[in-house]
Amino acid sequence: MLAGALAWALAGGDAETVGSLVVIGLGSVIADAIVWRFAERDLDVPGDATLPSAPWGLVVGPAGALGLATAVFLGVPLLAVACAIALIAALPGLYTRFPAGALPSRVVADAGRVRWFAEAHGVSRGETVGGYVAPVGESGARLVVVAPDSAWASLMIRQRDVDLVARLARVQLRDRTSPQAGRDLATGGRYWATMNKSW
């Protein structure tokens, strides 16, 4: 929205309308960043580790810069000051994203996807979910998570990240060669129709 506002300002758009777009765009970006930063994640973080900070500086900083450029081009000092304040406030977020002892963000993102799936299919916050790991190639692994309602999802991750992702997402790893593994997976008509389309 802010890039569009800048383009509209460069094309000779009305200052009041473009300024309104900048205010709405910057406000929504800041609101998203606040929600993103303080969102509670249901992950089992080891005691000696921390989660990486949400990259709010990477989101708010460019938005503030675009808003500032638009306000300067339009010649609206109050809007320029507001955008400059947002830009300056975002600068610390560019540098403090990875505190000492922070877990890799790809691992946290993978674990977050697993928890989202598990909670969407009947697993309560803090509860474990069953899963299986199958090696793929030399360094990859396929993590299959099976929800209590027999819905399942798989995720390709690095072999070295399997234990950490499973711990963070509260996945209880089971033996993939046991007959129970096949019984846990729901493979109805919809699943087979999807498989047929993939060929």
Q: What angle do CA 36, 38, 39 make, to 5 degrees?
A: 65
Q: In what order do the strands lie in the sheet with 140-146?
A: 152-158, 140-146, 129-136, 171-173
Tens digit of each residue's pLDDT (9 = 90 or more) over 99-158 = 666 778 788 888 988 998 888 888 888 898 989 898 888 888 999 888 888 788 889 999
Q: Which of 4-8, 10-14, 92-96, 158-162 has the lowest mean pLDDT?
A: 92-96
Write out the two tokens for 186. Answer: 């729901």
Tens digit of each residue's pLDDT (9 = 90 or more) over 36-65 = 666 667 777 777 777 776 667 777 888 888
Query: What pLDDT, on a 0 to 100 scale, did the predictor assign at position 96?
Result: 58
Q: Which residue has the higher pLDDT, 164 or 9?
A: 164
Under DSSP, the state recorded for 74 is: H
Query: What is the three-class DSSP state of 45?
Result: coil
Rg from Cα positions in the chain:
23
Q: What angle do CA 108, 121, 44 make, to 5 degrees?
A: 30
Do 50 and 24 meet the contact criterion of CB atoms below 8 Å apart? no
Do 115 and 43 meet the contact criterion of CB atoms below 8 Å apart? yes
Tens digit of each residue's pLDDT (9 = 90 or more) over 16-32 = 888 888 888 888 888 88
Do 76 and 15 meet the contact criterion of CB atoms below 8 Å apart? yes
**Segment 178-192 mean pLDDT:** 68
Q: Considering the entire predicted model, what is its pTM?
A: 0.61
Cα–Cα distance list, 148 to 120, 121, 131, 186 (Å)? 11, 7, 11, 10
Query: What pLDDT, on a 0 to 100 scale, did the predictor assign at position 101?
Result: 66
Q: What is the mean pLDDT of the chain?
A: 81
Tens digit of each residue's pLDDT (9 = 90 or more) over 60-95 = 888 888 888 888 888 888 888 988 888 888 877 666
HSE of 65, CA atoms in CB hemisphere, 13 A: 8
Query: What is the three-class DSSP state of 199?
Result: coil
